[in-house]
Amino acid sequence: MSATYRDAMRASLLYLLLSVVWLELSGHLLNSFFDSSDELLRWQLINGYVWVVLSAGLIFLARARLFRCLGIGAKLRERNEDRERLRQAAAVFDCTREGVLVTDRNGVIVHVNRAFMEITGYQCEEVLGQQPSLFKSGHHPASFYQTMFATLNRCGEWSGEIWNRRKNGGIYPQWQTIRLIHDDQGQLSHYVAVFSDISAIKDSEHELKYLAHHDPLTDLPNRLLFTDRAEQALASAQIQKRGCALLLIDLDHFKMINDSLGHTVGDQLLKAVAERLKAMFGPGITLARLGGDEFAVLAESCPQLVHAAALAQRIVDGLKEPFHIDGHRLFINASIGISLFPGDALSAEQLLRNADSALFKAKSAGRDGYAFYTEELTAHAQQRVETASELRRALEQQELRVYYQPVHDLKTRRLVGVEALVRWEHPHRGLVSPAEFIPIAERTGLIAEIDAWVMQQACRQMCHWQQAGVELSFVAVNVSSRLFARRELYQQVAQVLRDTGLDPAYLELEVTESAVMDDPEVALEQMHRLRELGVRLAIDDFGTGYSSLLRLKRLPVQKLKIDQGFVAGLPWDDDDAAIVRVIIALAQSMGMQVHAEGIEQVEQAGFLLEQGCDLGQGYWFGRPVPAGQLDWMHAPEIH
């Protein structure tokens, strides 16, 4: 057919169509009655369109010398609609940006689209015939997939976020919809999964979340995140019965730097302060910038106020070193307000408010320092922190002294031993009791030096006494519970014995019951090692801890020292009397000596003697005194 002929026919067909198509549309289907070419046309209707096949031919009417054109239109119903739908579906399937995966009823992959390949990195032939478990990321527990299939089977559809693995091994989040497809008989025939890669959304979500919770200048948590973390920390501290401290730090006169050197220098200084603070803290401490020149610190474990005070002092001191910014050497001081949990408040918001008013106090007190929410705490803490730094000096300046308290044999009343007790001869405060400074020394780590020094002094003194012909069975020294479990203790004792030349049998180490029972296995090992050296071991303050009798029996200990708390009520307090009787019986049954301390009255000594207690110590026999003041001849009568 020539092009002209074809065009003419098309024009005629269109014309004809107008006249004939109505017949078809109204159901009068015309049969094809002559042969011609078919044309497929889309015919627009008011409410849509139809596809129509037109057949047309030309008839030459010889008589009239006319060509007549005859055409017939037939509306294509389902057959072509189906074909179209499939064609569209195929186009959608291929062009969509969503990955599509089709499996048969057994979960075998039968179809994937181009987007699937782009997202997962797999080629079509690599996945056909495989199971979708090929993409499992290991991110979800088995229960996740169980719930997914349960929903799918129940509702016919499941949608949700799922993490899968790409061919290159990387895992990524996808938003996925899975549907069940049924055949004409209603039997499950396929699963269709449509998904999109949402890692970009996730990344930006993450970024947004980060921005919402962090200070952009210093990268530290902001107020929102700080309060959130503080609430969580307080909740767990409450359960574990732990103390926490919230410190609010404000840089003194920061405005002056901003005003004189400009905001750029100010910003750089804030960044440098943040870096320096960050470097000061380890785990368990959250640092945040609340705004301007205000930082906050949350110490999740702060058993006592002295810990908070030490932390505050560390911050104040740490910021004192100059900052070098933009050619300037800048000095900055900080004021700190401290609020304690649970003493001052129970919520993060309230702690912040309290710390804020404490900060105000610190500022009004002249800045460059810290203050607690309550005045008494501030004074108390400051004194303790002062004591700690003074104690360091005391050791260097040799202000510590060893006093000796006599221990008597209750039967013979003779002085048989002494207990070495440390004292601090403070230049202004006079003689300071170890009850005040030993706990501080323990917390600051100075205790190791103190105990080593006392042991050295006591052993040396014992050697002098022996050389002077004084007959003593032992000199007792206290070993801090902080040091007892340490391996170095053994070396330290051995060293002191070597240095002083004292026969180990004359040295008695007193360890508190709680130190032993805190970790009985370690204690047992340590005690055996110490016993190998030949020293004596005593359990101090017995009755105040929670000894397991079974464990007690295994310990290589020669002596139990009854805590003075039980001796105080003797002989009239029935409970104390009963406890003391039991301890004596217990020690005797285990072949240990019993030693009662805190004896202040003759009646107490009498009762203890009657019950079979071996040794006695207390003001009634003699107070702790310097070595030269011990009264060797003193042997009071016990009635």
In angstroms, give the least distance from the CB of 623 to ligand C2E.
7
Of 407 and 472, CB closest to ligand C2E:
407
Q: How many Å apart are CA 217 and CA 271, to the nearest integer?
A: 7
In angstroms, give the least distance from the CB of 454 to ligand C2E.
4
H or E, element range at 164: strand 157-165
Of 510 and 576, CB closest to Mg ion:
510
Of 251 and 400, CB closest to ligand C2E:
400
Contacts 24+ apart (CB under 8 A), 4-11: 9/36, 9/37, 9/56, 9/58, 9/69, 10/39
Of 345 and 515, CB closest to Mg ion:
515
> Within positions 164 to 183, which residues make up the interface with ligand C2E, using CB under 6 A?
none
On whether the CB atoms of residues 117 and 166 are closer than 8 A, the answer is no
Of 337 and 417, CB closest to ligand C2E:
417
Q: How many Å apart are CA 506 and CA 496, to the nearest integer?
A: 13
Q: How many Å apart are CA 214 and CA 229, to the nearest integer?
A: 13
Q: Give the list of residues 6+ apart from residue 611 with CB closer than 8 angstroms, or none.
A: 580, 581, 584
Return the residue nearest ligand C2E (CB atom). 618
- Looking at this protein, which amino acid is placed at residue 510? E
Beta strands 188-197 and 171-182, pairing class: antiparallel
438 binds, among Mg ion, ligand C2E, none (CB under 5 to 8 A by kind): ligand C2E
Q: Which residue has the tokens 């007790």?
A: 421
> Within positions 112 to 131, which residues make up the interface with ligand C2E, using CB under 6 A?
none
Phi, psi of 299 (to 5 degrees): -100, 115
Give the chain's end-to-end CA distance (angstroms, integer).
146
- DSSP single-letter state for residue 159: E
526 binds, among Mg ion, ligand C2E, none (CB under 5 to 8 A by kind): none
Q: How many Å apart are CA 48 and CA 316, to the nearest integer?
A: 81
Q: From the list 24, 293, 344, 597, which residue makes contact with ligand C2E (rule: CB under 6 A)?
A: 597
On whether the CB atoms of residues 564 and 597 are closer than 8 A, the answer is yes
600 binds, among Mg ion, ligand C2E, none (CB under 5 to 8 A by kind): ligand C2E
In angstroms, give the least distance from the CB of 494 to ligand C2E.
19
Of 237 and 568, CB closest to ligand C2E:
568
Of 249 and 511, CB closest to ligand C2E:
511
Positive or negative CA dihedral for 151, 152, 153, 157?
Answer: positive
547 binds, among Mg ion, ligand C2E, none (CB under 5 to 8 A by kind): none
480 binds, among ligand C2E, Mg ion, none (CB under 5 to 8 A by kind): ligand C2E
> Under the criterion CB under 6 A, does residue 421 sit at the interface with ligand C2E?
yes
HSE-CB at 501 with a 13 A cutoff on CA atoms is 4
624 binds, among Mg ion, ligand C2E, none (CB under 5 to 8 A by kind): ligand C2E
> Within positions 440 to 499, which residues make up the interface with ligand C2E, using CB under 6 A?
451, 454, 478, 480
Over the Cα atoms of the chain, what is R_g?
A: 46
Binding site for Mg ion (CB under 5 A): 478, 510, 540-541
Residues 617-636, mask of contacts with ligand C2E (x by CB under 6 A) = xxx----x------------
435 binds, among ligand C2E, Mg ion, none (CB under 5 to 8 A by kind): ligand C2E
300 binds, among ligand C2E, Mg ion, none (CB under 5 to 8 A by kind): none
- Looking at this protein, which amino acid is placed at residue 337? G
**Vertex 457: Cα angle to 454 and 461 (nearest 5):** 135
Q: Which residue has the tokens 């169509």?
A: 17
Q: From the list 24, 300, 513, 540, which residue makes contact with ligand C2E (rule: CB under 6 A)?
A: 540
**Positions in the binding site for ligand C2E (CB under 6 A):** 405, 421-422, 433-435, 438, 451, 454, 478, 480, 510, 540-541, 564, 597-600, 617-619, 624
